């Protein structure tokens, strides 16, 4: 059963459910997800009816393969087999009777149905493509998809929130070397629906990471945490400390804060990877391997945004751990599977470390 609880923090929501006698709780969405999807939860008009997207609706599509044009067309046919059979019978009957106007109407209906069903899924298809381009740092492609989604927002009843599109536009512009312009443009969305101040600061940190200014990214992450000390933001901070600063002492202290809270189901592989990198930096190869393999197994068994990057980065660190343990064949295999992503996203330091470790 899915319950959507409105509270200031995850801890408060958990206490509400525990007080009601609920057990075996699994956190599906945290403060970041709730804030970012708030505009999508508002009612949208379609054919005169108000459509509300609930948390249960969002969860139905989590973990599924990203939608595609071909998949949408195929689904429109397979889910309407009875309708198509009926129209085929009517079409044959109309041809037999020589009712060519009716033949034309039925023919148009047969062709229009899959097109309409595909149009309904267009925002999801383009949004999945946006995530893919973002994951692989294909900045020009990202800008093109953002433009399409912005135009689609004017005519479609499913709308990607403007702050989300602005953030993706800003990230693509930063990737293309236009940091100042991107920051100025994105700042207009601070404190707008879907982009509270603390979330804006967390996203600005991500923009600075794209610009390879990890000191600034760390600074903005700390600003976000000062406003909203959430578990997800602490995990984000830990990731920066182990990935970019290679600071196991501070990362270990941040992990202690993370362990006080509750982690979402989709955040657990990310945390496991952070734990694995931390153990690697501390020289605890056995623990590093265990955590990285756990993260990898979780990432590979489900579809979610940035899956390719999550898997590749985990394999890259795992290759270094395996090399330390003397398992060179396995280390080279993991590195070979991660290398294309590391090159495409200019992970130069990690790439060099892997090459040094595996030889």
Instruction: Please give the pLDDT value at position 13.
Output: 56
Q: Specify if 275 maps to a domain.
A: yes
Instruction: Please give the pLDDT value at position 7.
Output: 59
Q: Specify if 219 maps to a domain.
A: no
Question: Of 10, 30, 63, which closes a domain?
Answer: 63
Question: Of 63, 90, 116, which closes a domain?
Answer: 63
Question: Of 45, 63, 81, which closes a domain?
Answer: 63
Instruction: Please give the pLDDT value at position 33.
Output: 62
Q: Specify if 340 maps to a domain.
A: yes
CB 189 within 8 A of CB 166: yes
Instruction: Please give the pLDDT value at position 351.
Output: 97
Q: Specify if 97 maps to a domain.
A: no
Instruction: Please give the pLDDT value at position 43.
Output: 47
Range of the domain at 40: 1-63
**How many domains does the chain divide into?**
2
Q: Using one digit for the tens of pLDDT, what is the confidence trace for 273-286?
A: 999 999 999 999 99
Q: Using one digit for the tens of pLDDT, what is the confidence trace for 34-89?
A: 666 666 655 455 545 555 656 666 556 666 778 887 887 778 777 777 777 777 78
| Residue ranges in the chain modelled with pLDDT below 70 | 1-63
Give the dihedral sign, CA 36/38/39/40.
positive
Q: Specify if 167 maps to a domain.
A: no
Q: Specify if 36 maps to a domain.
A: yes
Q: Specify if 95 maps to a domain.
A: no
CATH for 240: 1.25.40.10
- Cα separation, 114 vs 117, in Å, equals 5
CB 287 within 8 A of CB 279: yes
Q: Specify if 334 maps to a domain.
A: yes
């Amino acid at each position: 059963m899915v319950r959507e609880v409105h509270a200031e923090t995850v801890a408060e929501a958990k206490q509400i459910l525990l007080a009601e006698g609920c057990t075996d709780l699994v956190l599906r969405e945290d403060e970041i997800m709730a804030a970012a999807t708030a505009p999508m939860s508002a009612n949208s008009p379609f054919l005169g009816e108000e459509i509300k997207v609930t948390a249960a609706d969002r969860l139905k599509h989590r973990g599924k393969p990203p939608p595609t044009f071909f998949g949408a067309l195929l689904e429109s046919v397979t889910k309407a087999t009875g309708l198509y059979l009926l129209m085929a019978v009517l079409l044959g009957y109309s041809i037999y009777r020589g009712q060519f106007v009716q033949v034309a109407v039925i023919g148009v209906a047969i062709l229009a149905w899959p097109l309409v069903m595909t149009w309904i899924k267009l925002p999801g298809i383009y949004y999945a493509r946006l995530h893919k381009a973002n994951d692989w740092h294909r900045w020009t492609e990202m800008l093109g998809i953002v433009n399409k989604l912005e135009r689609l927002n004017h005519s479609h009843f499913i709308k990607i929130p403007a702050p989300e599109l602005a953030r993706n536009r800003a990230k693509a512009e930063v990737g293309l070397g236009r940091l100042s312009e991107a920051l100025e443009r994105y700042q207009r969305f601070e404190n707008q629906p879907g982009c509270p101040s603390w979330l804006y600061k967390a996203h600005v940190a991500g923009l600075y990471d794209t610009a390879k200014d990890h000191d600034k990214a760390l600074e903005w992450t700390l600003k976000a945490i000062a406003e909203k000390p959430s578990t997800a933001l602490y995990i984000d901070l830990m990731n920066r400390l182990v990935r970019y600063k290679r600071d196991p002492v501070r990362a270990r202290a941040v992990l202690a804060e993370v362990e006080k809270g509750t982690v979402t189901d989709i955040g657990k592989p990310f945390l496991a990877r952070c734990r694995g990198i931390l153990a690697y930096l501390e020289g605890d190869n056995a623990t590093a391997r265990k955590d990285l393999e756990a993260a990898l197994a979780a990432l590979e068994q489900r579809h979610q945004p940035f899956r390719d990057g999550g898997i590749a980065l985990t394999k890259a660190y795992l290759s270094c751990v395996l090399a330390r343990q003397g398992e060179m064949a396995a280390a080279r295999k993991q590195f070979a599977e991660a290398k294309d992503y590391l090159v495409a996203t200019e992970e130069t330091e990690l790439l060099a470390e892997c090459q040094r470790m595996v030889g």
